[in-house]
Amino acid sequence: MRRRVAAIVLVLAGCVAPPPRPGEEAPRRGDEISVCGRLFHTGTRVVLWNDPGGYDHYRVEPKWPDELPDDVDPALLEPAPRYSWRSYDVPEALLSRAKERGWALDDLRAVVDQFVVHYDACGTSRRCFQVMHDERHLSVHFLLDLDGTIYQALDVKEKGWHATKANSRSIGVEIAQIGAYDAPDHERLEAWYEADDAGVRITIPPELAERSGFAGETFRPARAVRIEGTRNDRRLWQYDFTDAQYEALAKLAATLHRVFPSITLTVPRDASGAVLDRALTDAEFAGYRGLLGHEHVQANKVDPGPAFDWERLLAGARSCVGGTDALPAPTPDR
């Protein structure tokens, strides 16, 4: 119900005035991401870390300490940061200026040039945040839930801890999805997906559905079949992501491209033009700017996996940008 009400508010707001275009800077409406404290519209629902119901990586303690295991490591309960300065390979003069005055958008554009896509292997954004923040002391800028809601947990000026060597130059998103596995009948796939008269639906465990606000909701993968593919020499099976996730992610990618032109709307490809199914070499990684998967950053990762439809994402993002040729880039910092 909370999500439906928010969606109705956004629709009604759009009837009063034309909706902002992805990447446009304007007052708060409920679809903005934060970049250096400035708000940029996406055209899709965004919940910021300081909004009711938001997920906040700025907090230095667990969000749900009562849900941690009884034998939890005491170190997890100690106050500790989950993010840091973007500093690796950043010119010293630029980093010194940022630490003295805070990141200016023009300076940040000289540093950020990658957008890393993950699946969370948790199934819902609430559980993803719980694992990353409370249990592993990690962080990511965005979480994308099954219903297409985007949660921003850090301003993108921060260095999130989500993709090792990509962290200093990247923005990351964790998409709610249970993941890819080495057998078509893997127990995780069997537990999380069920065939019905309408195709295939996602079967969230009841307690997790309740905590995530999804009790009684039905979500379906965009394609009702297990997708087979190879990532970093592993043969895998996976169901697709939801239509709502693709639509929201396309708008987020378009917005990031408008704000950070170095994040090109491309993905690593092989000589034949197919999306690369392996990690980039060090030389390839150093020169790459654009969208990429965790699988392209690290050879021991396979996300977002063989079912992730890169062509659909790129087409959607380019469509969002294609109608905004007259939209100027964000104004320079003064």
Task: Identify the band that residue 12 occupies on the pLDDT scale cut at 50, 70 and 90.
Answer: very low
Residue type, 281: T
CA angle 62, 68, 71 (to 5 degrees): 125
The secondary structure of 219-263 as a DSSP string is: ---SSSS-EEEEETTEEEEEPPPPHHHHHHHHHHHHHHHHH-TTS
Q: Kindly report the length of the chain.
A: 334
| pLDDT score recorded for residue 290 | 98
For 223, what's the count of Cα atoms within 13 Å in the CB-facing half-sphere?
A: 12
**Pair 189, 237: CB distance under 8 Å:** yes
Structure tokens, 67 = 């849900």
| pLDDT score recorded for residue 329 | 44
Share of the chain above pLDDT 70, in %: 90
Share of the chain above pLDDT 90, in %: 84
Q: Where are the alpha helices (DSSP H) in the chain?
A: 2-16, 92-101, 105-109, 125-129, 187-192, 206-212, 243-259, 282-287, 294-297, 310-322
pLDDT higher than 50, residue 234: yes
For 157, what's the count of Cα atoms within 13 Å in the CB-facing half-sphere?
A: 18
Closest alpha carbon to 269 in 248, 286, 292, 251 = 292
**Pair 307, 239: CB distance under 8 Å:** yes
pLDDT tens digits for range 180-202: 999 999 999 999 999 999 999 99
Pairing of strands 193-196, 142-144: unpaired
Residue 58 burial (CB < 10 Å; 0-12/13-18/19+)?
middle
pLDDT tens digits for range 84-140: 999 999 999 999 999 999 999 999 999 999 999 999 999 999 999 999 999 999 999
| pLDDT score recorded for residue 71 | 86
Distances (CA, A) of 278 to 41, 256, 285, 298, 307: 33, 24, 12, 9, 15
Closest alpha carbon to 200 in 317, 312, 307, 315 = 307
Domains and CATH numbers, the chain: 2-58+91-322 (3.40.80.10)
pLDDT higher than 90, residue 271: yes
CA angle 126, 127, 128 (to 5 degrees): 90
Contacting residues for 199 by C-beta, under 8 A, at least 6 apart: 220, 224
What value does the mean pLDDT of the chain take? 91
- Bridge partners of residue 39, in order along the sequence: 34
pLDDT tens digits for range 31-40: 999 999 999 9
Distances (CA, A) of 200 to 194, 219, 323: 5, 9, 34
pLDDT higher than 60, residue 75: yes
Residue 257 burial (CB < 10 Å; 0-12/13-18/19+)?
buried
| pLDDT score recorded for residue 72 | 84
pLDDT tens digits for range 304-333: 999 999 999 999 999 999 844 333 444 444
Task: Identify the band that residue 29 occupies on the pLDDT scale cut at 50, 70 and 90.
Answer: confident
Task: Identify the band that residue 24 occupies on the pLDDT scale cut at 50, 70 and 90.
Answer: confident
Mean pLDDT of 60-72: 91
pLDDT higher than 60, residue 15: no
CA distance 265 to 319: 11
| pLDDT score recorded for residue 3 | 52
